[in-house]
Amino acid sequence: MSRSYNEEIGFIEKIDSVRYKIKKGFVPNMNVDGLIYVNDSIKDLVFEELEQYSTRGSAGGFLPAVKQIANVASLPGIVGHSLGMPDIHSGYGFSIGNVAAFDTEDPMSVVSPGGVGFDINCGVRLLRTNLTEKDINPIKEQLCQSLFDHIPVGVGSKGVIPMNAKSLDAALELGIDWSLGEGYAWVEDKEHCEEYGRMLNADPTKVSDRAKKRGLPQLGTLGAGNHYLEVQVVDEIFNKTAASKMGIDQVGQVCVMIHSGSRGMGHQVATDSLTLMEKAMARDHIHLNDKQLACSRINSQEGQDYLSGMAAAANFAWVNRQSMTFLARQAFAKAFNSAPDDLDMHVIYDVSHNIAKFEEHMVDGRPKKLLVHRKGATRAFPPHHPLIPVDYQFTGQPVLIGGTMGTCSYVLTGTELGMKETFGSTCHGAGRSISRNKSRNNLSYEGVLDSLQSKGISIRIASPKLIMEEAPESYKDVVQVIETCHKAGISQKTVKLRPIAVIKG
């Protein structure tokens, strides 16, 4: 029998100004509690969704994000909490902004493609330059056009880097090492990528021919949706020491942010695995609250195959972002008539916000090997963690948070508290607040463009409908998302960036 909103809200307990606990019983079979991070400014968006569900039922085929967080808490082998970051919103099975860790020592533990997302290893990369806004302004439009010409965007786009089946297999296996070997990467780029730009358990034979066929022409393309390449300028520096370690030393300094993933390849890997896992669940007696949570035991054939295929798709995503880095460097070099290294176009960091990885964390006072799913959540390891680059050992891992088309982006750093509370994770972006349909109906094309123009933002976009769908009004206020994480202490503000040129699908 369905519960009223008041009955539902009775299971949600406010712990402090940014933490809410979802208690066991909110949905059946919860193994752990849920924990969500929202402050007063954005909590209404989360709870309104639940209220609508209580009165009118689910909309758009997805359950409300808090229900999804609780459903994940009912999966076998989960430890700690099922965590919701401040930018949570409904997604396929798992909400976007959900972190869930599964104990690898527990034979019942599962891996779920829904916990990673369809765009495997969707992530953000930030390049710095030694240019300032003054240097860019006179040629901003030409630069924006040049970037648009170098990096194809949109659904069905094809890249300018020639690939064949053999080189694709190598890229899937080697990740950024393939780019290094071919000369699309600088050696320092690898050092500043999560996982050093390569997942070692990748196995291209676990990627279907269909997925490969989809990925082959797409290398070096941005894709559509919320993916973008932005030329940004440093707007505010919160932590001078950490910023200078990243090579950011002044307000007005120009950076380039690339947000993209594994394109059709990752989508196909996820789809293929979901089909296989749905069949295997009956065999393995896995019962779920929501069939979108389709999963397999980590050690089952289906689970292992998915992890190997997912790793290969993740490698493809790194190669993709690296290829776009190569092309962006070329565009800048042509625009400023100098070599990219003279422009100091180094990678500050590259994060992944849709991935599942084996990591060691403390659980009940003991170190445990966990399979941590981060879907729309970013790894944020603290200072001195062995898996972060030497340059950031004293600052903590840089965390790159992309805003929306007209709003700010942030660089955060990981903290010890985050390591203890959220398996070293934090938010990933602004997070949608209204559906794409609603955005198209409520916003006007001219209105959004005028607003961007008044902010001095140049834009090149392949699909006009994206102007409304990706307008800042369609998203949560990124500032409040960041403030929540900062206040909760799961990551710390370091640098704020604002866009001056955007290219999008």
What distance, in Å, lies between the first and last C-alpha atoms of the chain? 44
Stretch binding another protein (CB under 8 A), from 12-20, 108-116, 288-296, 390-398: 390-398
Q: Is residue 156 a known part of a binding site?
A: no
Chosen residue from 30, 63, 99, 161 binding another protein by CB under 8 A: 161
Chosen residue from 278, 391, 473, 483 binding another protein by CB under 8 A: 391
Burial class (CB in 10 A: 0-12, 13-18, 19+), 52: middle
For every residue of 321-364, DSSP letters joined together read: HHHHHHHHHHHHHHHHTS-TTTTT--EEEEEESEEEEEEEEEET
Residue 138 binds another protein, judged by CB under 8 A: no
Chosen residue from 9, 449, 462, 479 binding another protein by CB under 8 A: 462
The 10 Å Cβ neighbour count of residue 287 is 10
Q: Is residue 402 a known part of a binding site?
A: yes
Of 304 and 330, nearer to another protein (C-beta) is: 330
Question: 205: which DSSP letter?
Answer: G
Contacts of 356 (CB under 8 A, 6+ apart): 111, 115, 116, 307, 310, 371, 372, 373, 374
The Cα–Cα gap between 329 and 129 comes to: 10
Which parts of 415-454 interact with another protein (CB under 8 A)? Answer: 416
Inter-residue contact 284 to 300 (CB < 8 Å) = yes
Chosen residue from 389, 420, 436, 438 binding another protein by CB under 8 A: 389
What is the nearest approach in angstroms of another protein to the Cβ of residue 102? 24
Joined tokens for residue 320: 């993709």
Inter-residue contact 248 to 132 (CB < 8 Å) = no
The Cα–Cα gap between 322 and 312 comes to: 15
What is the nearest approach in angstroms of another protein to the Cβ of residue 242? 10
Stretch binding another protein (CB under 8 A), from 151-159, 438-446, 450-458, 471-479: 151-159
Backbone dihedral region for residue 456 (phi beyond 0: left; psi -120 to 50: alpha; all else: beta): left
Residue 155 binds another protein, judged by CB under 8 A: yes
Window 206-225: contact mask with another protein (x via CB under 8 A): -----------x---x--x-
Q: Is residue 144 a known part of a binding site?
A: no
The Cα–Cα gap between 154 and 20 comes to: 38
Residue 162 binds another protein, judged by CB under 8 A: yes
The Cα–Cα gap between 143 and 333 comes to: 10
Residue 472 binds another protein, judged by CB under 8 A: no
**Minimal CA–CA distance to 306: which of 62, 113, 81?**
113
Of 28 and 156, nearer to another protein (C-beta) is: 156
From the candidates 150, 192, 267, 428, give the one annotated as an active-site residue: 428
Residue 52 binds another protein, judged by CB under 8 A: no
Stretch binding another protein (CB under 8 A), from 23-31, 58-66, 279-287, 325-333: 325-333
Strand, coil or helix: what is 405? coil
Chosen residue from 68, 109, 146, 157 binding another protein by CB under 8 A: 157
Residue 382 binds another protein, judged by CB under 8 A: yes
List beta partners, residue 236. Answer: 496
Distance of CA 367 to the CA centre of its chain: 26
Window 233-252: contact mask with another protein (x via CB under 8 A): --------x-----------
Strand-pair category, 366-375 with 354-363: antiparallel
Contacts of 16 (CB under 8 A, 6+ apart): none
Chosen residue from 57, 61, 138, 365 binding another protein by CB under 8 A: 365
Chosen residue from 28, 60, 156, 447 binding another protein by CB under 8 A: 156
Of 39 and 330, nearer to another protein (C-beta) is: 330
Chosen residue from 117, 123, 159, 309 binding another protein by CB under 8 A: 159
Chosen residue from 134, 394, 441, 453 binding another protein by CB under 8 A: 394
Q: Is residue 392 a known part of a binding site?
A: no
Burial class (CB in 10 A: 0-12, 13-18, 19+), 122: buried
Q: Is 428 a catalytic residue?
A: yes
- Residues noted as catalytic: 428
Q: Where is the binding site for GMP, in residues? A: 226-230, 353-354, 402-405, 409, 428-431, 504
User: Where does this chain bind another protein (CB under 8 A)?
Assistant: 148-149, 152-162, 180-184, 187-188, 190-191, 217, 221, 224, 241, 326-327, 330, 365, 382-384, 389-391, 393-394, 416, 462-463, 505
